Copies of this chain bind each other. A is one copy, B any other.
């Protein structure tokens, strides 16, 4: 995956309204008006978000008469997850390292206890 599309994915997901829209679409397809319902902002404001999500390939849209149902597309999320995997070791092993450190500390203290 290109650096560029990862940047676009992340920038698109950075907006909480868009993440809320994605969460709603995780429950199934929805039209713009349906998506707009939970928000207090104007309809044109909401309407811009599917466009942004579509440009980032996070959703796809079809046409059903005057409705434009939106559908979640998980591929960019998978790409993001793949990128994140490179860093997993850093959060998974940090407890181990803390643990190691504490054990080391205890070992030193025990040595001192023996000495004094």
Contacts and interface: CB of A to CB of B under 8 A. Distances in A.
A65 to B, nearest CB: 24
Interface in A1-34: 3-4, 6-7, 10-11, 13-16, 19, 22-23, 26
Interface string A62-74: 0000000000101
B10 A14 contact: yes
A75 B87 contact: no
What is the oligomeric copy number? 2
A19 B10 CA distance: 11
Interface in A50-105: 72, 74-75, 77-78, 80-81, 84, 86-88, 90-91, 94
B84 A84 contact: yes
A16 to B, nearest CB: 5
B14 A87 contact: no
B26 A3 contact: no
A85 to B, nearest CB: 8
